[in-house]
């Protein structure tokens, strides 16, 4: 099946692909993992994992997507029509991405709520209109705000619905006029915001202490768990095995240099994580919050607002940060949704409009369930987890690693021997000095490393 549309420019292609990778995982998971795993020691291993695991597997997904010229399922069928069962790897990726989308849309609604409350100033005042100016009072206030804006019943639903509607608008515009145009605006804005925050953070009084923790390695802190956590962070932050990269690369023009694109996207994703480290650690050292938990929601919705409350221009910096976060969440939800939209278009011969509505409409129900499971329905558990946490655990901790292993096996052992090489060399028109190394990693090393990430979930 010939692809109806391609990305219209190299810049748009890179912006869209980077937007699919850069997300909340870079913003809150990376600083938390760095803090918990020895600072710079973790950073060095993470960088090595990006090059050892991330770029080769990303290149394999690009090759499968462009060569297969279809959605995440159709790509397998087009490349190996005689291998009947491998399309299920694509089906697993589509299912995982849609489950992630269901709860990720809720998180994007939280970021929008905090952006609006920052702009209005309500985030930093009590219900009586009093501005709290003590550290203990600030922490209590932001815990209350987090309870209201995240675990409440109606407010989170409204913000989630707004984000779903925004996704619907962009997706209906199509690949070039919607996804590519949005990415061309959003991604430069995101990096400008990151650089502004980095510049401010590096001027804080105890910036040197934060930078030393982040960039001066303590190799005695390295353990097998550190390595596994770095592998997992590299895998998830690059959006591997979600079907996103296969889907987006099906929109790549024939002349796209896949290896160069994978390196560029991976380096920009890595830069985002490093910039977040340079923003977070000088700030937490300066404001005496180094002992606080930097994991997950606590970092974004409690610790960082505390930091902004102690800075001059509180509302400005808080609003700017939550704008950054909303942009990162928005580009991620768009890419996750596009995986299922492409599937509907290719396999059910739907028009773009009908495919988008078919994919997005159920989110009003599914994301509502995820939102309510954090608050009003939090007592309902599946294997001891809320619905939100259960979907997160199943999709990110189990389905994605399994899909990644199967993808590597497919590209290394099942796909035609010349297929991978032909895609990386654009059918022989380019010289690829790294193909042998990339193919070796995909075939032998990456499946083992991803298996370690998977096994670690059960240890």
Return the closest-CA partner of residue 210 out of 40, 24, 45: 40
Q: How many CA atoms lie within 13 A of 126 on its CB side?
A: 11
Q: Which pLDDT score is estimated for 288?
A: 80
Please report, to the nearest 10 degrees, the dihedral formed by the alpha carbons of residues 327, 332, 333, 338 taken in order: 130
Assign domain 10-456 to a CATH class: mainly alpha
Return the closest-CA partner of residue 399 out of 140, 99, 193, 20: 99
Q: Which pLDDT score is estimated for 2?
A: 46
Question: For the packed helices 446-456 and 224-237, what is the interaxial angle rounded to 10 degrees?
Answer: 110
Distance CA 181, CA 177 (A): 5
Q: Which pLDDT score is estimated for 171?
A: 98
Q: Could you tell me the mean pLDDT of each successive run of 10 residues in the chain, 459 residues long?
A: 75 95 82 86 94 96 97 97 95 98 96 95 78 63 84 93 98 97 95 94 94 89 89 92 97 96 96 93 85 71 84 91 94 97 96 98 98 94 95 94 97 96 96 94 96 89
What are the pLDDT digits (tens) for 264-320?
Answer: 999 999 999 999 999 999 998 998 877 776 666 777 888 888 888 888 889 999 999
Question: Within 10 Å of residue 137's Cβ, how many Cβ atoms?
Answer: 14
Return contacts of 419-422, CB within 8 angstroms, 24+ apart: 419/63, 419/67, 419/79, 420/60, 420/63, 422/67
Q: Which pLDDT score is estimated for 1?
A: 43
What are the pLDDT digits (tens) for 89-127?
Answer: 999 999 999 999 999 999 999 999 999 999 998 898 877
Question: For the packed helices 417-424 and 55-68, what is the interaxial angle rounded to 10 degrees?
Answer: 100
What are the pLDDT digits (tens) for 257-267?
Answer: 999 999 999 99
Question: For the packed helices 87-120 and 155-172, what is the interaxial angle rounded to 10 degrees?
Answer: 120
Distance CA 155, CA 274 (A): 33
Q: Which pLDDT score is estimated for 129?
A: 65
């Amino acid at each position: 099946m010939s692809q109806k549309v391609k990305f219209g420019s190299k810049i748009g292609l890179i912006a869209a692909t980077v937007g699919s990778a850069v997300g909340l995982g870079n913003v809150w998971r990376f600083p938390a993992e760095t803090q918990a795993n020895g600072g710079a020691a973790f950073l060095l291993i993470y960088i090595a994992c990006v090059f050892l695991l991330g770029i080769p597997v990303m290149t394999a997904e690009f090759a499968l997507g462009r060569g297969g010229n279809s959605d995440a399922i159709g790509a397998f069928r087009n490349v190996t029509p005689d291998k009947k069962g491998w399309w299920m790897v694509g089906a697993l990726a589509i299912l995982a991405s849609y489950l992630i989308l269901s709860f990720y849309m809720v998180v994007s609604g939280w970021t929008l709520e905090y952006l609006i409350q920052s702009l209005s100033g309500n985030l930093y005042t009590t219900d009586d209109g009093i501005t709290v100016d003590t550290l203990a009072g600030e922490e209590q206030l932001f815990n209350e705000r987090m309870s209201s804006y995240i675990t409440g019943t109606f407010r989170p639903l409204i913000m989630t619905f707004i984000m779903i509607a925004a996704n619907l608008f962009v997706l209906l515009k199509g690949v070039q006029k919607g996804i590519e145009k949005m990415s061309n605006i959003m991604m430069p804005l995101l990096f400008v915001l990151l650089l502004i925050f980095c510049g401010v953070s590096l001027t804080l009084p105890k910036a040197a202490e934060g930078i030393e923790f982040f960039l001066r390695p303590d190799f005695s802190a390295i353990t097998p768990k550190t390595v596994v956590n770095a592998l997992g962070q590299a895998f998830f932050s690059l959006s591997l095995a979600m079907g996103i990269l296969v889907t987006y690369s099906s929109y790549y023009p024939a002349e796209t240099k896949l290896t160069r694109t994978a390196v560029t996207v991976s380096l920009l994703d890595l830069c985002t994580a490093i910039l977040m480290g340079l923003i977070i650690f000088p700030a937490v050292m300066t404001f005496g919050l180094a002992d606080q938990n930097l994991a997950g929601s606590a970092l974004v919705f409690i610790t960082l607002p505390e930091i902004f409350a102690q800075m001059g221009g509180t509302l400005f910096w808080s609003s700017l940060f939550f704008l950054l976060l909303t942009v990162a969440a928005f580009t991620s939800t768009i890419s996750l949704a596009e995986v299922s939209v492409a599937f509907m278009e290719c396999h059910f011969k739907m028009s773009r409009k009908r495919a988008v509505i078919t994919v997005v409409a159920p989110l009003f129900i599914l994301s509502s369930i995820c939102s309510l499971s954090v608050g009003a329905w939090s007592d309902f558990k599946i294997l001891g987890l809320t619905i939100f946490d259960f979907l997160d655990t199943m999709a990110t901790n189990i389905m994605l690693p399994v899909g990644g292993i199967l993808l590597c096996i497919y590209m290394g052992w099942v796909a035609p021997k010349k297929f991978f090489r032909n895609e990386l060399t654009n059918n022989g028109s380019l010289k690829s000095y790294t193909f042998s190394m990339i193919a070796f990693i995909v075939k032998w090393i990456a499946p083992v490393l991803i298996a370690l990430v998977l096994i670690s979930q059960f240890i």
